[in-house]
Structure 1
Amino acid sequence: MILTNYAIKFRTAVFVFIAVLVGMGIVSYKTLPREGSPDITIPQVFVNVVYPGTAPEDMENLIAIPIEKRLNELGNVKTISAMASDSVVLFSVEYLAGVDVDTAIQRVKDKIDLARPDLPGDLDEPVVE
């Protein structure tokens, strides 16, 4: 009750205090360091495998499954997805935050090399990026 009596009795002082508090908040907001477009890197590797003239079902059985088995051996992976279409299989390997992308690309290439004996011999070289 004493605080409310004081606020009513010295209302000008209360208004000045609130104005100073709001002014300090505005100044703090304007001087707060921030970055307009921060550099965010999602550790993700894409693999594109082309085998001309092959149906999507064959792409899945001949290419997607053997490569996916090897990619599942990778560590620090969040998700692996594969999409087989006419003559093309696309893989997406998303890593956990903090993984070096260049190292991840090399590890994916190594796993694809290990899967090569299980793939068709006339298959084009997979593109890893």
Structure 2
Amino acid sequence: MENQSCVKIINEWDIVAARQLGRNVAKDLGFGTVDQARITTAISELARNIYLYAGQGQVCIEKIYDGGKAGLRILAADSGPGISDLRQVMEDGYSTSGGLGAGLPGVKRLMDEFVIDSEPGKGTDIKATKWLR
């Protein structure tokens, strides 16, 4: 799919690469600097989660079009341990890393659409979408 680019997340430099990719795609689509920052923050959080909890995975950025709307979708996927309590990780302030990251609730707030699918022992897939206003 030509509208999609992926970065494998294996080390911390990959988080930077994923952020850069997201910023470039957001800029290409015409997102303003504030939304670019929201998108790169969301990517950073998702990529860091893969790195910290799953060890490896990938972050894909795709341009999406729906009718007359354009947007950017982040697809974060890993085959790590998965999340046993989705409700808990979606609570504000919940952290297992002791970090002050925005966490998944932060990603959900930064983006327009957020879907998480996780199965313990199988991994986690997250789709987060931002529409161009």
**What is the TM-score normalised by the length of structure 1?**
0.31
RCO higher in 1 or 2 (8 Å CA, sep ≥ 6)? 1
Which structure is higher in helix share?
1
Structure label with greater radius of gyration: 1
**What is the TM-score normalised by the length of structure 2?**
0.30
Which structure is higher in strand share?
2
